[in-house]
Chains A and B, each alone.
Chain A
Amino acid sequence: MTAADPREVGTQLRPGLWHTINERYPGSMIRNESFVPQARLRKPLGASRLTLVSSCGVHLKTDQPLDVCHPFGEFRFMRVPSRAKHDDLIIHQLKYPHDDADLDINVIFPIERLQELVEEGRLGGLTPNFFSFIGYNMDPEKFERTVAEGIAEAVVEEERADCALLAPA
């Protein structure tokens, strides 16, 4: 009997990914023993300022590119102006297929869809900057100390976000 095609039945397209990552890259994943508590929205979405954070490796074409050849990972993160359009942006990331995102960045980083929701009043606003980085790295402790904490601090202290949409590429 052949396995059901996940494209036709609507299950995870690449099953067993967690196991595969841990087998190929032991120790590379951040682990939590218990659920991260839920913070609740303090005001309606129509009055909230949203930020977008993604490991898709997108940034302005004018930025120094993310280092896709670093053997242990790239520990910088990029600020992406939330007013940017598809044509302003480029992806530097090797660890996922981004051919379609190269045609339309909104496939992985829905910046223009979010801009539209603000214009319609469905969202109160966007933070001046969104955030992007390369998820692949071999040092999760350093990653947490640099990229994760750096973005978290910027989102709260500089951007004054009320909530965040996360897109782990």
Chain B
Amino acid sequence: MAGEHKHPNYMAIFWMLAILTVAELIVVFLPFGKFVNGTLLCGLAVGKAALVAMYFMHLKFETRTLGLIAITPLTIATLLVFVILPDSLYVDHKTQNVKPAASAPAKP
């Protein structure tokens, strides 16, 4: 019956999640700059989410088709990011905080 479900070692997963959370808090203060820190943080978050989904939600022990159902929203979200992000290329960050040069001719 359903009760015979294989139970993974939940406490081991808990400690891994706790350690990854502490790691995230440490990464915030690392001096590697926004890009490296951001990549590290995203990687840690995805790792934690995968642990929760695979072991707590038993996705690792489910059928392949159920896994496909779970992956569908991730695919949609990833596509959406690639739809939205190119927009940011059209914003000229550098001009935002720069005052017009004094020598620039005044507009008529």
Same complex for A and B? Answer no
